[in-house]
Amino acid sequence: MNWYRQVHSLQIDVTSHCNARCGACIRNISGGETRPNLKLSHFDLDLWKRIASEDTKGWWIRQLTLNGNWGDSMMHPDLVEMLKYWTEHHPETFISIATNGSMRGPKFWADLAKVLRNSSQHVVQFAIDGMEDTHHLYRRRTIFSKIIENVKSFTDADGVAHIIMTMFEHNKHQINEVKELARELGAVQFNARQSHTDHMEIIDTNENYDIKAYYPTYKAEHREIPADIQHYFEENDKPFSDIRDGHIFVNLNNEFENAQEFKLETKCPWKNEGDVQIDPWGVVWPCCHISLFGGPDTNSSRKQNFKEGDEDLIVEGQKENNLYNDSLQNILNNDWFNVRVDNAVDDASWKICRKNCGVCN
């Protein structure tokens, strides 16, 4: 099945701007200055409207995810208008947004909740990485008190919120506190997740310190809560607690339902989920790993991660998959997606796919 016929879920980064300097983010250098080759842009409003009303007209879009590979979507000046327009043309879509939540003000978050209620389902995932004394160590240049105010404004306006906590050695003792904070703020789910980076060094002006990840041990096949974090779960929460792939999930409102699961069809998990990535500059990618800044960005790294002849894949993708030059349907029907990417996945010939998604022969 080609990409066009398979896709029903879009992950879009609507901006490359961000107010934070998180330690492991690809947009900055060691938690410091923004990468000099990162073009700061907001997704074009007219292009967004074209995608919603023309490119995907009559197309069932199961999920729209505004994620933060290049920036935080809340930095886009037209975000509420964009989502209002999307729900008018795709009321069937489940909208999921990830944010650090430390920008704008209460009115914006209440307005956002009002618009999102027009979708079939929605959730905004707020990153709270500890309490006030630890949150800022990784989620740098964000303001804890502002996040708390914004989450409360969002949930008071009937917005559906999840609280996501990345576990580190410096905040692992606060998992239960953040979980209780999530409940107080009206969130429906709390997720304490592993960091995808074992160790990071923060280097920014006068700041220089290390951050180490925390990886709790557990027996995945039995869904057992390990002894070292057992005390984080009170008796009345156990029916709503789970550990999957190193993530601790606590459903604070068991009426919340997750999006529908789909059957796997190929070796590529993104294609199996009917998902593609669109970057802030209007380029369509098969995933966040195979994208501008998402994977190797040097000639030597590209040679190691892609098979011979595919070293210029990212450069070619920027030209062939540009929504300013072609429709989403035509891009997903092109040879870049359906020949070059599919063949490489079938052959497991790209190291970047083997490393990030476990693609194998």
Q: SS3 for the chain, per residue?
A: CCHHHHCCEEEECCECCCCCCCCCCCCECCCCCECCCCCCCECCHHHHHHHHHHHCCCCCCCEEEECCCCCCHHHCCCHHHHHHHHHHHCCCCEEEEEECCCCCCHHHHHHHHHHHCCCCEEEEEEECCCCCCCHHHHCCCCCHHHHHHHHHHHHHCCCCEEEEEEEECCCHHHHHHHHHHHHHCCCCEEEEEECCCCEEEEEECCEEEEEEECCCCCCHHHCCCCHHHHHHCCHHHHHHEEEECCEEEEECCCCCCCCCCCCCCCCCHHHHCCEEEECCCCEEECCCCCCCCCCCCCHHHHHHHCCCCCCCHHHHHHHHCECCCCCHHHHHCCHHHHHHHHHHHHHCCCHHHHHHHCCCC
With a cut of 70, say whether residue 46 has pLDDT above it. Answer: yes
**Mean per-residue pLDDT, 112-131:** 97
pLDDT digits (tens, 9 = 90+) for 286-313: 999 898 877 655 444 556 778 888 888 8
**Mean per-residue pLDDT, 34-47:** 95
Q: What superfamily in CATH does domain 9-251 come from?
A: Aldolase class I (3.20.20.70)
pLDDT band for position 153 (50/70/90)? very high
Domains in the chain: boundaries: 9-251, 269-357
With a cut of 60, say whether residue 86 has pLDDT above it. Answer: yes
Provide the percentage of residues in the chain whose pLDDT is more than 90: 67
pLDDT band for position 230 (50/70/90)? low
Out of 111-125, 262-276, 325-339, least confident range:
262-276
pLDDT band for position 248 (50/70/90)? low
pLDDT band for position 219 (50/70/90)? very low
pLDDT on residue 220? 44
pLDDT band for position 164 (50/70/90)? very high
Provide the percentage of residues in the chain whose pLDDT is more than 70: 84
pLDDT band for position 197 (50/70/90)? confident
pLDDT on residue 148? 98
**Mean per-residue pLDDT, 133-161:** 97
Out of 164-173, 218-227, 264-273, 304-313, least confident range:
218-227
pLDDT on residue 356? 86
pLDDT on residue 355? 86
